[in-house]
Amino acid sequence: MALKLGDLAPSFVAETTQGEIDFHKYIDGSWAILFSHPNDFTPVCTTELGAVGKFMPEFEKRGVKVLALSCNDVESHKAWIKDIESFTPEAQVSYPIISDPKRDLAVQFGMLDPDEQDAAGIPLTARAVYVFGPDKKLKLSILYPATTGRNFHEVLRVIDSLQLTANHSVATPVNWNAGDKCMVVPGLSNEAAAAKFPKGFETIEVPSGKQYIRLTPQPNI
Amino acid sequence: MALKLGDLAPSFVAETTQGEIDFHKYIDGSWAILFSHPNDFTPVCTTELGAVGKFMPEFEKRGVKVLALSCNDVESHKAWIKDIESFTPEAQVSYPIISDPKRDLAVQFGMLDPDEQDAAGIPLTARAVYVFGPDKKLKLSILYPATTGRNFHEVLRVIDSLQLTANHSVATPVNWNAGDKCMVVPGLSNEAAAAKFPKGFETIEVPSGKQYIRLTPQPNI
C-alpha cells in the first residue's frame, strides 16, 4: 500500500552505508527526501545516484536530508558508490543508502514494482520519491518504473515550491520555476493580500467575472 | 489507498463534460493519463488545465488519451472551461473533465488530499497524475499537493520514455530528454545488443570492472 499525502512517515531503524539510522531522528525538524532505486550496479540507477550526489549542495542549501534505498546489502552499496562517483565525477555520494534486503520498508512505503524482479523472482523497488516536511508528513510523491530515470531538476523545483508555499500565502502555477510569479491563495481576501504582499498583486479578468486569478511576484526574494 | 505500479486501472463509468464515459472503453488500446485537480475556479488549476489544453497536440501525437477529474459538477466544469481558455488563449480544453462529487473515484484512485477541504470540510482531490499503458496497467504516478502546480513538460518527458522503453530494449537515464542517449537494459547480452542496435553502443568502464553501463543512441529515431 502506497503512502498518501498527509500520512506520517513510518518510523523505522535501518542499516545504511553510514551505519544504523533511525529515520524519524534523522529527519527531525528538516525537510527530507527518501528515494528508492531498483538495483545496485545497474545503468539508470548509477546515473540517478550520481545526479543526486552532484546536487547535494542544492539539497543542503534547502535544508533537505537525503536518503536512498534499495534491497541490496550494505557491502554492495559501498562497492557500487565507487562506480557512481567514477561515472559522475562531480558527484559525492555523501548521503546514506539504506539496505532493505527483506523488503520491509519497500512494502511499508509502497515502493515495489511487480515488473522488476531479482534472480529469485522477488519484486524489486521502483523509482519512488517521497518528500516529507518538517512535520514528518508526506508532502509529495512520485513513482516511476525501472525503465524511466527520474528528473532531479523537477525534484528540486517541487522542493522550492513546497518550501515557499508552506511559509507564504501563495501557490505555484503550472510549470513554475523559482523566481516566477506566484498565485495568491484563494483563502486570502484582497485586503489581506494587499497587506501581505508589499510588491502588490495583479488580478486577471476571466469570463466568469470571478476574481480568483491573482498573480504576485515570488514573496521571499 | 493509492494505486501501485502494475495495478489494473479500476473500471468505472463517470459523468464528464463530454457525456458519460466508460473509462476502460475510452482508453482501450491507447496510452492514457488521468489527472485530478482540487477545485474549479481556482488559480493553479486554471493554469494547469490550460497547459494541458495547449499541449493536446503533443498528447495526440503520442496517442495518449487525456482525462481530467475533480469533485465539482459538470455544469461547474463547463462554465470554468471558458475561464481556462481565456487565461491560456492557446489552449483548447478538448479533453473531458470527470465530475466525481461523491469522491467515489478519488477514494478508489487514492487522489484525496486531507489538507484541502471544501466548505463542508470534506477533502478535495490532490494533483494526481496516473499514466496507464495500452494494457490498462499503471505505469507511473505523481501526487502533488494543491499548493504545487505540476510540470507538464515532465509529464511529456516520461511519456516519451515509457513509450520508447516499452518497445525497445533500452531504459532512459536520469534527466533524459527525447533524443538523448539511452541505456542498454541489463538483461541484453553484448551480442544481442550488437544485433539489436545497428548504431552500436558504448560500454563505460567503472571501478568494479562490471560492464553494465552501455550507452546507445535513441533507437527509434
DSSP string, B161-204: HHHHHHHSSEEB-TT--TTS-EEEPTTS-HHHHHHH-TT--EEP
A152: confidence class by pLDDT, cuts 50, 70, 90: very high
What residue of B is the nearest CA neighbor of A80? B208
Tell me the helix, strand and coil percentages in chain B, rounded to 5: 30, 30, 40
Residue B203: the pLDDT is 98
CB contact under 8 A, B207 and A158: no
- Render pLDDT for B29-41 as a digit per residue (tens, 0 to 9): 999 999 999 999 9
DSSP state of A38: S
CB contact under 8 A, A87 and B150: no
Q: Return mean pLDDT, chain A.
A: 95
Q: What is the mean pLDDT of residues A140-149?
A: 95
Contacts of A145 in chain B (CB under 8 A): 5, 139-140, 162
Residue B76: the pLDDT is 98
Residues 137-156 of A with CB under 8 A from B: 139-154
Q: How many CB pairs under 8 A join A and B?
A: 212
Span A168-216: which CATH code?
Answer: 3.30.1020.10
Residue A43 pLDDT more than 70? yes
Residue B28 pLDDT more than 80? yes
| Lowest mean per-residue pLDDT among A104-118, B158-172, B183-197 | A104-118
Residue A110 pLDDT more than 70? yes
Q: What is the mean pLDDT of residues A16-29?
A: 96
Q: Quick one: cell of A153? A: 531538476
Residue to substitute from A113, A135, A148, A182, interface B, most B β-carbons within 10 A: A148
Q: Tell me which fold the domain B13-150 belongs to.
A: Glutaredoxin (3.40.30)
Catalytic site residues of B? 45
Kindly provide the ipTM of the predicted complex, given to two decimals. Answer: 0.95
B31 in contact with chain A, both atoms CB, cutoff 8 A = no
Q: Where are the domains of chain A?
A: 13-150, 168-216
- Render pLDDT for B67-123 as a digit per residue (tens, 0 to 9): 999 999 999 999 999 999 999 999 999 999 999 999 999 999 989 888 888 888 888
Catalytic site residues of A? 45
CB contact under 8 A, B184 and A43: yes
- Render pLDDT for B121-177 as a digit per residue (tens, 0 to 9): 888 899 999 999 999 999 999 999 999 999 999 999 999 999 999 999 999 999 999
Asked whether the beta carbons of B45 and B167 are under 8 A apart, the reply is no
List, in sequence order, the alpha helices (H) in chain B: 23-27, 43-61, 74-87, 104-109, 152-167, 190-196
A119: confidence class by pLDDT, cuts 50, 70, 90: confident
CB contact under 8 A, B139 and A158: no
DSSP string, A75-129: HHHHHHHHHHHHHSTT----S-EEE-TT-HHHHHHT-EEEEEE-TTSPEEE-EEE
Residue B1 pLDDT more than 80? no
Residues 76-95 of B with CB under 8 A from A: 79-80, 82-83, 86-87
Residue A13 pLDDT more than 60? yes
Between B63 and A220, the more confident residue is: B63
Percent of chain A residues past pLDDT 70, beyond the cut: 100
Asked whether the beta carbons of B172 and B164 are under 8 A apart, the reply is yes
Residue A12: the pLDDT is 96
CB contact under 8 A, A5 and B157: no
Residue A1 pLDDT more than 70? no
